[in-house]
Structure 1
Amino acid sequence: MNVDGLAPGAAGLHLVGGVALLRPEEQVFEAMLDGWRNQQLARNLALSTIEKREGRLRAFGEHAEAFPWQWTPQYADEW
């Protein structure tokens, strides 16, 4: 464990304590995409690959008009 109590390589909290999010769903979704992008960069994937994947995910989200935690198999069938 590090001095801050996290295991090596663990992600830290990106929010300030006691502060309410203005648009929590959008902010959580963006944080998820940032984490996913970082994971792909760590795997040394090409930026073009990462951008295409992110673009498809955003397009699917617009089609579904919902956030990922609200997606159902029906959205994929319609896509």
Structure 2
Amino acid sequence: MSDPRKEIWHKRKQLGRSKYLILFGLLPWGIGLTLLFSVIEFLRLQEINWVWVPIRLLIFVFIGFFVANARWHAMESRYEPYTRRP
């Protein structure tokens, strides 16, 4: 891993896993994709079915959790050799 990426990961790792999952998984994926799909629905149908908004939010929050968790573990495995060096 190059030095800039190592420094970025070090800063993100200092947030802690829970905060990382919220800031880089739950919020952007959950809220972002819910808004995106709601806008697409509005553009296609000229209305928003409000029953689907919380359902979308739940689904995309779960997706965001798994994506961020996978990224956390991937970065941990990349970053681990650098922490073992003297």
TM-score, length of structure 1 as denominator length: 0.36
| Structure in which a larger fraction of residues adopt helix | 2
Q: Higher relative contact order by CA 8 Å / sep ≥ 6: 1 or 2?
A: 2
TM-score, length of structure 2 as denominator length: 0.34
Greater Cα radius of gyration, structure 1 or 2 = 2
